[in-house]
Structure 1
Amino acid sequence: MTQMTSKACQQQHTRRKIMELPIGETFKDFRTDKNLSLSEAAGDIVTKSFLSKFERGGTSISFNNLLQLLQRMNVTVSEFLYRAYGYMWTGSAAFFNRLSVAAATGNVEALNKLIQQASTKYTSSGLQSDKVNLIVARSVKLTFEDQSLPNNETSQVLDYLFESEDWLHYDLKVLTYILPFIPPDMLPHVSHALIKHTEEYIRVGINSRIVAEVLLNILARQIELQHLHDAQVLLHDLDRNPTIRSMMMFSINLQSLKAAYEYVSGQTEDGSKEMLWALDTLRHLGSDKLAKRLSTQWQELTGVPTEELVNHQ
């Protein structure tokens, strides 16, 4: 008998865990929360009797039918799985949630714990994604220490990402953290891969926001490093892609509101820097009209003209 590889064993274990989730019971919870009868929830997708049996765990259901039933109830797949898992984050979501909190608060102790956990998990699983998690956690700590990530580790993450350019939420989150360490000559390849899959990202709101922020940060790095030809190419690509451009404008608008909040809550230096970054980015993008609108919004919220921020730099 052929021995299964560790990856195949892992995939089989994952499939078994998914099958063991209380899918039917979770569906019933959503249905009753929305005060829907079996007939109303089933519609013409499945029969009332089938749905009743499914909710009791007496039969399985195809993914296609489950997806249609969830859409009928206006429940997303992620919301459904989150409840099915007992309101627990899935592994990668939990990892990035803890990493985000540790990074935002500068909690080095929490970062060290995440690094240790990621190292232990990688040693146990041997999965490339677990190794990537370890490198990403280390990269955040190195950012606080103003140190660079070793080139070989950056290359390992890039190799993992470019095995397939069809990047999903996990891959985009990895890219967000590793971006400061990506060599400048690789940035055009990253931006090209993101722009090529625009229509796929726009269908998932959270992914589209991550893509917009990554592209903005790539553009900022290229300008800061005086890689003006690469920046010009990226700006040209963005001009030809109104969908991406719209996503980026939303991201900048959100950033300006965050900056205003920081400013009025006493974090005046951070708020000022972020607002000036937003305005400078808009000017590079040729969006003077939006820059003027955000300047007006800033003054209404903070009582301080943006011209004074420039004078204080």
Structure 2
Amino acid sequence: MEQLPGKIFKVIRESKNMSLKEVADEDISVAQLSRYERGISGMTVDAFYRCLKTMSVSLDEFEYVFNNYSQPDDLVFSTSLADAYLSNNVLKLEKMFKTCQKLEKEHPNKKNYRLNRIVVRAVLSYCEDSIKVSKKDIEFLTDYLFSVEEWGRYELWLFTNSVGLLTVATLETFASEMISRTQFYHKLPENRKRILQMLLDVVNVCIEQDHLQVAMKFLNYIDNTNIPETDLYERILTKYHKAYYLFKAGKSTALEDMKECLNILEYLECYGAGQKLKRQIADLEVQVADSQKK
């Protein structure tokens, strides 16, 4: 196993049709690079990054090849969880929960296994009202998030999926803290999207519970982030939540704007996300009908 990174490095170098000398350049000797590829010796982190840069290869690309042309386990796990939630696949979620329980039992000293189990339980609770997350687990999760000074991809994922467990006051505190705790990583495209998704989830909960002032605070922050046009999904959801805010603030015509956002998602065949918005719009229409009868 110790030889594997060097072998992968060699595969990438040769696929680029580059010699040892071209990659080594002035950063590392040809002999050192050759020994690394053969698994005889290691390489400093600085030299490794510079060699990747010389080959025009990103760290993510190296990791992708290193993982046998597949996503890392944590990304596969988070993607599977999101897919199961959007499709309301309770059976899949229960299976994932049991797997997390098993890993937690086998590795009691590893926090991430317990945190993963709590998050899966939280997502299950969003799909099944009868399922609850214990107060002890919520405290463990919040204590962990408060203890981390710089939130990376994992912490953002934890918080985004646990938004429904927390009070509005806690959400406001965490979301504000999150903005300051992601300074190291917020320019990474994947993290930027996670931060935006988390804020939209917080906004949604705040609007649902009529905490409109808090919702507007984070909507204003989102407006100032200048979402790239290529992030079409996030732009649609932002439009939707602005309309949702206006509807709750008393502008009944905003419901049509929400429906227009839903139509766009359905046209783009984003049925999982669309289904969630469809249920929300249907509930609002029932509320409007009931109020008109009174």
In the alignment, the residues of structure 2 paired with residue 81 and residue 129 of structure 1 have an alpha-carbon distance, to the nearest angstrom, of: 21
Structure 1 segments unaligned to the other structure (5+ residues): 1-16, 258-273, 285-291, 303-308
Q: What value does the CA root-mean-square deviation take over the aligned residues? A: 3.5
Which residue number corresponds to residue 143 of structure 1? 126
Q: Is the contact made by 1:172 and 1:210 (CA closer than 8 Å) also made in structure 2? A: yes
Q: Deviations over 1:228-268 (max 9, x none)?
A: 332344355556xx4xx2248865x32466xxxxxxxxxxx
Q: Deviations over 1:206-239 (max 9, x none)?
A: 0110001111221222222122332344355556
TM-score, normalising length: structure 1: 0.71
Q: Is the contact made by 1:184 and 1:222 (CA closer than 8 Å) also made in structure 2? A: yes
The 3 A distance-change label for structure 1 pair 160 and 249 is farther
Which residue number corresponds to residue 240 of structure 2? 277
- How much has 1:165 moved relative to structure 2? 3.5
Q: Is the contact made by 1:70 and 1:76 (CA closer than 8 Å) also made in structure 2? A: yes
The 3 A distance-change label for structure 1 pair 100 and 29 is same
Q: Is the contact made by 1:21 and 1:85 (CA closer than 8 Å) also made in structure 2? A: no
- How much has 1:61 moved relative to structure 2? 0.4
Alignment of 1:186-201 (within 5 A): 186-197=170-181, 199-201=183-185
Q: Secondary structure at the match of 1:229?
A: helix
The 3 A distance-change label for structure 1 pair 47 and 141 is same
The 3 A distance-change label for structure 1 pair 248 and 223 is farther
In the alignment, the residues of structure 1 paired with residue 216 and residue 238 of structure 2 have an alpha-carbon distance, to the nearest angstrom, of: 23
Alignment of 1:123-162 (within 5 A): 123-126=105-108, 127-147=110-130, 148-162=132-146
Q: Is the contact made by 2:207 and 2:244 (CA closer than 8 Å) also made in structure 1? A: no
In the alignment, the residues of structure 2 paired with residue 277 and residue 237 of structure 1 have an alpha-carbon distance, to the nearest angstrom, of: 16
Q: Is the contact made by 2:196 and 2:222 (CA closer than 8 Å) also made in structure 1? A: no
Which residue number corresponds to residue 6 of structure 1? none
The 3 A distance-change label for structure 1 pair 101 and 254 is closer
- How much has 1:283 moved relative to structure 2? 6.7
Q: Secondary structure at the match of 2:226?
A: helix
| Number of aligned positions between the proteins | 259
In the alignment, the residues of structure 2 paired with residue 41 and residue 34 of structure 1 have an alpha-carbon distance, to the nearest angstrom, of: 10
The 3 A distance-change label for structure 1 pair 54 and 75 is same
Which residue number corresponds to residue 250 of structure 2? none
TM-score, normalising length: structure 2: 0.75
- How much has 1:168 moved relative to structure 2? 1.2
In the alignment, the residues of structure 1 paired with residue 61 and residue 79 of structure 2 have an alpha-carbon distance, to the nearest angstrom, of: 16
Q: Is the contact made by 1:118 and 1:134 (CA closer than 8 Å) also made in structure 2? A: yes
Q: Is the contact made by 1:223 and 1:231 (CA closer than 8 Å) also made in structure 2? A: yes
Of 81, 92, 96, 1:99 maps to 81
Structure 2 segments unaligned to the other structure (5+ residues): 248-256, 268-277, 286-294
